[in-house]
Amino acid sequence: MQNKSITTILKEVSMFSSLDETELRALTEISYIVKYKENSNLFLKGDVSGSLMILIDGIVSIFKHDNKGNEIVIGYFTRYKLLAEAATLRHTPLPSSGTFKSDGAILKVDLEKFEELFMSHPHISKAIIQSLLQKIDLLQQNIHFNIASNSSEKILFFYQQNPKLSLDLKQYEIASILGMVPETFSRNIKKLLKEGKLEKVNTGYKVL
């Protein structure tokens, strides 16, 4: 992220790319940056956020816990993603928790002032809808992971759908998303390589 100004960062976020200079100044005035260390909690289930949260640096894991206390990863998010926007915009408790998997930073925008000044802006409204649709796609992907017939199918589907995200994650983190232990993940990776369904490349694995 380096030492960019808030205005410069806002210009790089596609949701705000159509704002003119006056609008950007107004948005800058209600925004601020919070930096986090690896493994820091961004928010916990049940929190109510008074700010719109945009990830501007690092990787964030969104997760829940099942009845036995096991962590269930919903997804990992990278730069310029809106986080927890559905509950935030509804002013309801957040349904999941979020933790930084690396050092990172969040751009926080005062929710009340954002709604007053920008929610009627057509480009911003469209961007929020697109972000929500992406979250629906993520849920559908998680459903596929849960109903896939075997571990190998889950792994192949993940690498097909997430070629960029897979570069940022460690293998045990991908295993967590897929609901399997690292040993099972590693064993199936070796099996898929042997069967010629995966190829080892400099950036990780490629589906053949």
Which residue ranges make up each domain of the chain? 6-144, 150-207
What is the average pLDDT across 17-24? Answer: 91
Helices 21-29 + 111-118 axis angle, to 10: 160
128-133: long-range pairs with CB below 8 Å, 24+: 128/15, 128/82, 128/85, 128/89, 131/15, 131/81, 131/82, 131/85, 132/85, 132/86
pLDDT per residue over 60-102, tens digit each? 999 988 888 878 888 888 889 999 999 999 999 999 999 998 8
What is the CATH code for 6-144?
2.60.120.10
Rounded to the nearest angstrom, the gap between the alpha carbon of residue 173 and the centroid of all alpha carbons in its chain is 13
> What per-residue confidence (pLDDT) applies to 188?
92
Q: What is the pLDDT of residue 180?
A: 82
- 150-207 topology per CATH: Arc Repressor Mutant, subunit A (1.10.10)
pLDDT at position 184: 92
Confidence of residue 146 (pLDDT cuts 50, 70, 90): low
DSSP state of 84: S
pLDDT in tens, 35-71: 999 999 999 999 999 999 999 999 999 998 888 887 8
With cut-offs at 50, 70 and 90, classify the pLDDT of residue 2.
low
Rg (CA), the chain: 19
State how far the Cα of 95 lies from the Cα of 85, in Å rounded to an integer: 11
